[in-house]
């Protein structure tokens, strides 16, 4: 009799174990394709952010889909989009057809992302963009909702909003120059790399600076995106008497220009877009000459939300550098998690409905998608940041008392001290 009881217990145990096994086996992972130029820092940011998010979600048991928990499986998709749009096309087609990913995040170069977007939409795969800024990516949703509703853009803010922040930073520096140096007419040197994306910014700056900002254009300079010597431009800028150098740099010239400007102690404030100065290695690469460079940015260890500082510090501890904006794949996956759990399914149409209802604090700010599936920009939503290098540290200096917004940990903007000394002695 006793042996029978033992057998029953063993069988019950085996049944329970088998049931658990079946339950685990049934919970297939959710596949998320991470798109990016993986040989470049932008692609590394995509992958690093996504990896952190996936590990955090999986450590907590996975994403709750109906009655089961499903872990995330990331698929690294090297788009090589800097060098070849056909490579990007092939990579996305392979992710969708061969790897059968359930969702896509990432992408960087607009020209490539437009093509990748079409492939994702054709397969009705939800794609959260984390890299390309062109407005057309989202106006497509308005123009043809049924086809493009599976697209959402998370980071960066679109180029129109980038322009707004760019001119806000310029206006902030101009106001401080007027107040601290007693300058009546601030002169601005417009310096932009010779590239198509910079053309509209130059055109807008030439019109807005004199007509709407009350400042004077000291001249326009367009160095090569890969220039290794900008001393001629810097000498001319100094001769023109510029108080501000309004920069538009996405490539290596940003490093060259900032380094030489600091070494020559040009008495002007560098303000604008300088992607090279968003990187942690900028300080070492300029031997400290990049001091006081101000640029638009996305992440900094300030309290944009309760998630910002933990994310930035964890990222820095793990990868030894600040996250660039493509690391917004971290936020993208967390947003997807919430949408899937609310939908109770990974069905694209149902997830889209939940994504459209997103109102969530993320590391980059509060995310609410508008009708074009773009992030809402402005006070109390995602704003982007202005960061300034100060003696080896990247400080957040904007928003600071802007429209009622100051992120805890931000500090006031400062003019370069050699510039202050020069103009006060003029």
Chain Cα centroid distance, residue 24: 36
Report pLDDT for 77.
Answer: 97
Report pLDDT for 19.
Answer: 46
Average pLDDT over residues 211-215: 96
Average pLDDT over residues 371-391: 97
Residues in Cβ contact with 105 at an 8 Å cutoff, skipping those fewer than 6 apart: 32, 33, 34, 35, 46, 50, 127, 128, 129, 130, 329, 332, 333, 336
pLDDT band at 153; cut points 50, 70, 90:
very high
The answer to whether 247 and 272 have CB atoms below 8 angstroms apart is: yes
Report pLDDT for 199.
Answer: 86
Report pLDDT for 60.
Answer: 97
What 3-state class would DSSP assign to 349? helix
Average pLDDT over residues 207-225: 96
Give yes or no for residue 276 having a pLDDT over 50. Answer: yes
Poorest-pLDDT segment among 108-112, 164-168, 176-180, 281-285:
108-112
Give yes or no for residue 168 having a pLDDT over 80. Answer: yes
Report pLDDT for 250.
Answer: 82
Give yes or no for residue 100 having a pLDDT over 90. Answer: yes
CA dihedral 269→271→275→280, nearest 10 degrees, is: 50
- Count CA within 13 A, CB hemisphere, residue 145: 9
Rounded-to-integer distance, Cα 303 and Cα 371, Å: 28
Report pLDDT for 269.
Answer: 98
Neighbours of 284 (CB within 10 A): 11
Report pLDDT for 16.
Answer: 46
Give yes or no for residue 218 having a pLDDT over 50. Answer: yes
Report pLDDT for 275.
Answer: 86
Give pLDDT tens digits for 302-346. Answer: 999 999 999 999 999 999 999 989 999 999 999 999 999 999 999
Poorest-pLDDT segment among 24-38, 178-192, 211-225, 251-265:
24-38
Average pLDDT over residues 268-279: 93
The answer to whether 127 and 120 have CB atoms below 8 angstroms apart is: yes
Report pLDDT for 26.
Answer: 56
């Amino acid at each position: 009799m006793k042996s029978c009881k033992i057998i029953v217990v063993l069988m019950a145990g085996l049944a329970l174990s088998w049931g658990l096994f079946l339950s685990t086996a049934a919970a297939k992972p959710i596949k998320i394709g991470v798109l990016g130029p993986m040989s470049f820092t932008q692609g590394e940011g995509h992958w690093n952010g996504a990896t952190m998010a996936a590990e955090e979600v999986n450590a907590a048991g996975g994403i709750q889909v109906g009655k089961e928990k499903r872990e995330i499986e990331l698929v690294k998709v090297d788009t090589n989009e800097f060098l070849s749009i056909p490579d990007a096309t092939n990579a996305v087609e392979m992710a969708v057809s061969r790897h059968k990913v359930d969702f896509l995040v990432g992408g960087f170069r607009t020209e490539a992302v437009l093509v990748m977007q079409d492939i994702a939409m054709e397969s009705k795969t939800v794609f959260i963009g984390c890299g390309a800024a062109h407005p057309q990516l989202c106006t497509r949703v308005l123009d043809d909702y049924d086809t493009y509703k599976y697209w959402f853009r998370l980071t960066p803010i679109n180029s129109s909003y980038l322009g707004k922040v760019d001119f806000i930073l310029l206006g902030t520096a101009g106001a401080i120059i007027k107040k601290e140096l007693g300058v009546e007419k601030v002169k601005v040197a417009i310096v932009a790399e010779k590239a198509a994306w910079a053309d509209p910014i130059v055109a807008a700056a030439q019109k807005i600076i004199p007509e709407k900002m009350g400042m004077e254009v000291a001249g326009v300079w367009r160095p090569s995106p890969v220039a290794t010597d900008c001393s001629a431009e810097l000498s001319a800028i100094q001769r023109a008497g510029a108080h501000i150098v309004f920069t538009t740099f996405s490539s290596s010239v940003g490093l060259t220009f900032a380094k030489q400007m600091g070494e020559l102690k040009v008495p002007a404030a560098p303000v604008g877009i300088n992607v090279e100065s968003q990187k942690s290695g900028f300080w070492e690469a300029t031997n400290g000459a990049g001091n006081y460079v101000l640029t638009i940015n996305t992440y900094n260890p300030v309290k944009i939300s309760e998630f910002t500082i933990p994310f930035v510090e964890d990222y820095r501890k793990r990868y030894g550098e600040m996250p660039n904006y493509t690391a917004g794949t971290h936020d993208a996956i967390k947003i997807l998690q919430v949408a899937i759990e609310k939908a109770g399914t990974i069905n694209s149409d149902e997830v889209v409905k939940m994504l459209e209802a997103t109102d969530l604090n993320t590391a980059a700010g509060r995310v609410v998608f508008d009708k074009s599936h773009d992030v809402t920009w402005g006070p109390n939503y995602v704003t982007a940041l202005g960061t300034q290098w100060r003696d080896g540290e990247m400080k957040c200096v904007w928003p600071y008392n802007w429209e009622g917004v100051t992120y805890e940990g931000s500090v006031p903007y400062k003019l370069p001290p050699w510039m202050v000394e020069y103009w006060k002695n003029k």
